[in-house]
Amino acid sequence: MTTITVAVVGASGYAGGEVLRLLLAHPNVEIGALTAASSAGTPLGAHHPHLVPLADRILDPTTPEVLAGHDVVFLGLPHGESGAVAAQLGDDTLVIDLGADFRLTSADEWVEFYGGEHAGTWPYGLPELIVDGGRQRESLPGVNRIAVPGCNVTAVTLGIQPAIAAGLVEATDLVAVLANGYSGAGKAPKQHLLAAEALGAASPYGVGGVHRHVPEIMQNLRLAGADEVTISFTPTLVPMARGILATTTARLADGVDVAAVRSAYEAVYDDEPFIHLLPEGQWPTTAATLGANTAQLQLAVDERARRLVVVSAIDNLVKGTAGGAIQSMNLALGLPETTGLSTVGVSP
């Protein structure tokens, strides 16, 4: 059995910790260096006490010397910080960025939504993304750099792309409203993330087209077949630790047969191991995806409004981040795509 040595940069954060939780179940992985910035010198268990097998490991500073010699390096860093670390790693290392630095193909959109200099564009780590009728997974074997999608992007893209690809909806009339768990906001101590502010409250953020995931969603849907994309995107923080429930609606194209809509989704997703189109009448819940690398979908056609309604649920830290990253790692290294990844959630 092939053994892969893996280092995790930003191991004290939510994304880094989730990568480690999943890697502990991966039969081909040996966990190597764990690094951090301000948390360097502290035990991992002080930040992730649930990672019992690794709790006594001391976090190293993030240096080229510490990261040298690993087959794979995961970067769990704030946006704008991955480029400098990646530049210090050779082409013989598979580098997987959990952040936003290398997702966008447009430097202008990067500057508009993130600010600063665009670091470049890496192969995109959403294997199920429809690209010219095929799938993005076909572009991942053998690559040495991967940009993992944003969690909201994954939920919305998987929800609406079959309808886009089949020409069933007008891509210039998309609306997405999301309920988001607080872990998606990271660990930084901010007033609106305090329990006293969050418990018992739902609050929107990134309203009015300014959320940084908007250009990435548009980029994906153009790849899926849209000539032009217009989307109104509104995420809302709700009092749960994990999960995204995305409701995406789109106006049906003229002449579309309502009966053809579900068939289009079945054609795209029936063979996907991590995407589950639920039986008609059963709707996704975030609880059913907790801890699993799965996306649950359901759809309906509002005939009065002539709109398609798609609801998608994912765990933002698993299918939305760490699980999708490991799925992409498996493809890049020639391993079975599902290796080390569970489709079994934790509920209640």
* DSSP string computed for 148-199: PPPHHHHHHHHHHHHHHHTT-EEEEEEEEEEEE-GGGG-S---GGGSHHHHT
- Spatial distance between the Cα atoms of 140 and 163, rounded to a whole number of angstroms: 24
The DSSP letter of residue 110 is H
Residue 151: active-site member: yes
End-to-end Cα, the chain, rounded Å: 36
Strands 29-36 and 60-61: parallel
Q: Parallel, antiparallel, or unpaired: how do β-strands 275-277 and 295-302 relate? A: parallel
Query: Taking a C-beta distance cutoff of 8 angstroms, is the pair 83, 103 a contact?
Result: no
Question: Which residues, including other chains, have CB under 8 Å from residue 17's CB and lie 6 or more apart?
Answer: 11, 47, 48, 51
- Selecting among 151, 322, 326, 333, the annotated active-site residue is 151
Q: What is d(CA 29, CA 6) in angstroms, rounded to the nearest whole number?
A: 7
Length of the chain: 348
Active-site residues, by number, are 151
